[in-house]
């Protein structure tokens, strides 16, 4: 997996951010610094660190390797997996051989740069494979802690997306980012975006007025995406905005593209839907009828029990028929646009599109053109914990009991 010059520069910026944070001893765990000082006083040793993860990941190791090459350039790094490769849990990712004094000092930093992008890559991989026909936009930035995390997460999304394309040539994958900083990872010079709820609020809740201001102020924008859930009139506002775009302003004739973004609050149904209506909408779409039959088909024909104690089935039902941006809501909007003659209008979905939601959307064949999501971020921080153990001292194999599998 090759990097363009601009993508490589982003990873170089990651190293610069580490350096800007202050001296390495101030950033590393103190027991590693203590070890480095003791080894320096009593005789350095050549050691080999083995790095692994406790869960399945997609290898996104370039940030870790670049950090080692920068701070301990004489160290030797041996990869056991290629970038973008699906790696089982507790499978050795890399071996790093060099001075114990120097490598001990950067162990904290190299682990920080390993787990997060690898888990993000795995999530992005699963999401892109689940809905191959949809493009994905990286919208994680506002959920991150700053530029360093943004770079690690977006790099993971890039790697996972490319791995999914390699596994299925029909996958569109990630095509852009919401911020300029990470856009080159997805082959774009700049970030992309539609409009936030704040802009719709600025125009008194009138999404059409917001869209007109957007077009007036940013005339070179190639697409106009209306955020249609602000007042709870997803269908009416979708049709109103489409009518202006296609029939009045005729912007499609200028090479522009129109779409709507559904971001319906999880506490209510999209306009025109309730639970029973949602079941009917999805059933008609899939050609099966009855809540039980729909869920069974989406889960691949597995027999399931529709009871409150079945957590998996309950979540599937919420994604299919529930409040917020459900499969039913997307189908409902698509059918309304098509019936009005706006078949070229695209539908962008956002709100909680994690791997599981994407899998259900894909299995139900939801007619979604793009997904805006930051939910490829690791769901729990413990998922990202990478581990490094020394497995050789001056060429002699030695590792703590229980980690012999690393030898």
Local mean pLDDT, 10-residue blocks, the chain (407 residues): 91 96 95 96 97 97 98 98 97 98 97 97 97 97 94 98 97 97 95 92 98 96 95 98 98 96 96 97 95 90 66 86 97 98 97 94 97 94 94 95 91
What are the b/e assignments for 268-281, b being 16+ CB within 10 Å? Answer: ebbbbbeeeebbeb
The number of angstroms, rounded, from the C-alpha of 286 to the middle of its chain's C-alpha atoms is 28
Contact 153, 140 (CB under 8 A): yes
Q: How many other CB atoms are there within 10 angstroms of residue 79's CB atom? A: 14
Alpha carbon distance, N-terminus to C-terminus of the chain: 28
Q: What dihedral do alpha carbons 49, 106, 152, 407 form, nearest 10°?
A: 10
Which residue, 197, 279, 271, is CA-closest to 236? 271
Task: Give pLDDT, residue 305.
Answer: 65
pLDDT value, residue 217: 96
Residue 231's pLDDT is: 97
Strands 92-99 and 76-79: antiparallel
pLDDT at residue 1 in the model: 74
pLDDT of residue 321: 96
Predicted pLDDT at 249: 97
User: Radius of gyration of the chain from Cα atoms?
Assistant: 25
C-alpha torsion sign, points 84, 90, 96, 97: negative
- pLDDT computed for residue 169 by the predictor: 96
The pLDDT of residue 292: 86
Give the pLDDT of residue 314: 84
| Predicted local confidence at residue 307, as pLDDT | 64
Per-residue pLDDT, 70? 97
Q: Which CATH superfamily is domain 5-122+382-406 in?
A: Quinolinate phosphoribosyl transferase, N-terminal domain (3.90.1170.20)
* Domain layout of the chain by residue ranges: 5-122+382-406, 193-376
User: What pTM was computed for the model?
Assistant: 0.94
CB 98 within 8 A of CB 46: yes
Out of 2.40.50, 3.20.20, 1.10.1060, 2.40.128, which CATH number does the structure's domain 193-376 have?
Answer: 3.20.20
CB-based contact 275:327 (threshold 8 Å): no
pLDDT at residue number 304: 65
């Amino acid at each position: 997996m090759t990097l363009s010059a601009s993508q490589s520069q982003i990873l170089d910026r990651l190293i610069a951010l580490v350096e800007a944070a202050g001296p390495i001893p101030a950033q590393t765990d103190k027991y590693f610094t203590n070890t480095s000082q003791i080894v320096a006083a009593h005789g350095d040793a050549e050691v080999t660190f083995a790095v692994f993860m406790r869960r399945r990941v997609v290898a996104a190791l370039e940030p870790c390797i670049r950090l080692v090459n920068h701070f301990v350039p004489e160290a030797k790094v041996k990869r056991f997996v290629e970038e973008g490769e699906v790696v089982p849990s507790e499978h050795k990712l890399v071996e790093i051989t060099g001075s114990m004094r120097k490598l001990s000092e950067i162990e904290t930093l190299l682990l920080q740069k390993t787990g997060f992008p690898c888990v993000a890559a795995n999530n992005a991989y699963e999401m892109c494979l689940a809905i191959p026909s949809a493009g994905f936009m990286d919208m994680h930035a506002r959920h991150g802690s700053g530029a360093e995390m943004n770079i690690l997460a977006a790099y993971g999304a890039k790697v996972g997306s490319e791995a999914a394309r390699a596994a299925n040539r029909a996958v569109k994958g990630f095509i852009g980012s919401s911020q300029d900083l990470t856009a080159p990872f997805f082959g774009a010079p700049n970030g992309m975006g539609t409009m936030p709820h704040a802009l719709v609020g600025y125009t008194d809740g009138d999404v059409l007025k917001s869209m007109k201001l957007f077009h007036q102020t940013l005339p070179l924008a190639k697409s106009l995406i209306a955020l249609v859930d602000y007042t709870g009139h997803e269908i009416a506002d979708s049709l109103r905005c489409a009518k202006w775009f296609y029939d009045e302003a005729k912007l499609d004739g200028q090479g522009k593209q129109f779409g709507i973004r559904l971001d319906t609050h999880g506490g209510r149904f999209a306009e025109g839907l309730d639970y029973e209506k949602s079941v009917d909408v999805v059933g008609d779409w899939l050609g099966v009828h009855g809540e039980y039959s729909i869920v069974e088909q989406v889960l691949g024909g597995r027999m399931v029990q529709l009871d409150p104690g079945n957590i998996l089935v309950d979540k599937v039902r919420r994604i299919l028929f529930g409040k917020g941006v459900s499969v039913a809501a997307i189908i409902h909007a698509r059918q309304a646009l098509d019936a009005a003659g706006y078949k070229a209008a695209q539908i962008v979905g956002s709100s909680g599109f994690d791997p599981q939601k994407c899998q259900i959307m894909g299995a139900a064949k939801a007619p979604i053109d793009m997904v805006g999501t930051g939910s490829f971020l690791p769901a729990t921080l413990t998922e990202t914990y990478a581990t490094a153990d020394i497995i050789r001292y001056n060429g002699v194999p030695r590792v703590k009991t229980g980690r012999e599998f690393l030898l």
